[in-house]
Structure 1
Amino acid sequence: MFDAVSADAGPWRLSPRCTLSILTFRAGKTMIAVQLLHGHSLRTRCHRMPRYILLIRLNDAWPSQLSAREQPGAPICSSSERPSADLRTGLRRNTHGLPSRIGAPRYLVALDIDGTLVSSGVDVPPATIEAVERVRGSGHHVVLATGRTLTSAMAVAKSLGLTDEWIVASNGAVTARLENTALDGYSLHERRTFHARSVALLASARLREVRIGAEDFGRGWLVNKWFAHGLLNGHQRMVERLEELWASPTTRVVVNGPSAVSLIEPLRRLGVSATPEGARWINVTPHGTSKASALELVRARLAVPSDYTVAIGDGLNDAEMLAWAAHGVAMGQADEQVKAVATSVTGTIDEQGAAAALRSLTAGHLPQPAAVAGRSSRPLPGAAT
């Protein structure tokens, strides 16, 4: 029924059980072949067995993102249903030409936003966007892990072109997955809350000129005083009475003021997680909540081995995340306390250090240390060499 066909491009892995190749029939028709792995062997079928192969006729042009091989290979499928030697070896290629093997583990790559992907706002530099696309094109999971609200994090996800990835927001208190079909553009998987009363009363009693903000999920912030532009991501609504800050459970409270860091231990004794960001700022979340705790839940959900986790960040609120990851990468401008728990250090935000680290990952190596003498890059486990 079908004459022999040659593989003009591919195969690319679409999923752990699916590869794609561009085929040309002797009749001159160009088609896409989507081949599924069945058990431990790769099977190809003609259209009489659509369970295993789907053939779609193309128009006269190739897809713009795919290019033909310089020398078309041997028959990939024929009426005898014999897969090519190239497929039998289990090799795959993705749209970026990065080789690896079918069944190779996929990494979970956790990315902080502020100070890692962007200096401010939501516009990610083109080089970093390209590096993230290469990581995703290699089949790895990209997870944004940020102190921003979910709404603000989603704006950055859009800038990166993420459509179905996970997001850890509010320093781990909120975990969601992007979904284009969902009403709000995401499905909420976890929202951890606490009552802000004791935190707000302690901060207002101990500090003068203190600013307190309680996250109002999906809407912005309730604040006792206005925060300067850019300090909080999202709309601010100033309350008339302090008790309005704890009218409903919240995912996060921020405390801003002179010597705010002096409240770290008193706050922790209240049974909450308190993380400083400089001397004037504290993030308060439910007890035991951090980017690391939320990422561990995502890792388990995705069934990614612990050894296949990478995290890149710069802030004190990233320290637990970098320690959690098998390969923690600190940005070049990070505090020495953050660098101390990282596996390696990349360039600064101005040097687009995150992009360099991600390029090292897709090349099959740990990010090259930029500020730690005596260290050298090492191959990533399971990467092609």
Structure 2
Amino acid sequence: DSADLTVRGARHVRAAGGQLAASLGADPTPSAAADLAARIDARAAVGGRHWVAVAPASRGFGSVSPWADALGIALADAGRRVVVIDLADGPTPGQPGVCEIVDDELKLGQAVVFDPERMMARLGPGADHLRALEVLTGLVPRLPSDIEILVLALPALGQPGALTAAGMLDRVLVVAAVDETPRVDLIASLDAVDATDTAAEVILVDRSATSSMPPAVDAPVAPSVAAEPAFDPRPESGIPSPPEPEPEPEPEPEPVSEERPVRPDPDPEPRGTPFRPEPAPRPAPDPVGLRRPTDELDDEPTLEYEPLRPDDQDDHVAEEGRWAAPPAHRSLTGAQLDAPAPATVEPETSPIAPDEPDEDVRVTAALQTLAQEVWSRDARE
């Protein structure tokens, strides 16, 4: 921002050491200057009278006469007795002014032009513009005591006589144009006014704006790490802000049908398929002749056997009724080993059962066959 050489806004006014009095638009109307007039009127109420000069910060600004006249009208509309002296432009030949009054050619009442609608009078420089700036100091003591406010329009303060005239007033309003006035000119004007011990304030005029803004408050600005933009972001800068993106329209909700949804029928079970119940698990039977350890039989009775009688009978046929306990786990004799194995009775199965035998039955049959082979081998040995 330090490389920007043009006044962009209030921040450059503060950087120059000035105080912002008002931000105005391009139209110099009494309504636009009403807020500034209210501030001057408040000062006049304290001191009884207030003399104000309006001067441009640079020669490139142009004439400040329209703004001085608008400010005088606004003050007169507020009930003040106002005299507006316009020395901003060139001479007014054929019309008396400051020079004629100072030279005692005319009285003040004969040289001024009264406003028919308000308590306000206007006075020009006269035939010699430069001389009017020099002799203005002799006119001020001749002003009537009932004049409450004097508004003096001056050329740029660098012009001869302008700074001298500004130094005898109560306040100088330095006018700067946004995006036009060089910052160095604003700084030089404020320093020149300060050298005269006269209070100075700044008026920012935005020529690109069509309306005026109320006087801005010279509030301190919080320090920012990022550099300020090259233009004044306030509304009076006249540069439009980029338009905000329009929000995307929300999709319309789909119409809800009042018809109740039809639930699909479950697949019907195929007809003609017979019901096949799952067979209950069966305990695996102990193979005949296999003995389990006694300590594994917790709740079963211990089987005790009588020794077989001597093997003195023919064909070793065992007698009946020789067992002391049910023959659940007895040992087989030689005749029994030679006897054919009993036919395995297949368990009844459902007609809808699969063709393969049950797993328990196959295991039982295999164990029985293995036991018979073992017993037969032992008997032969």
TM-score band w.r.t. shorter chain: under 0.3
More strand, by proportion: 1
Larger radius of gyration: 2
Q: Which has the higher contact order (CA 8 A, sep 6+)?
A: 2
More helix, by proportion: 2
**TM-score in terms of structure 2 length:** 0.27
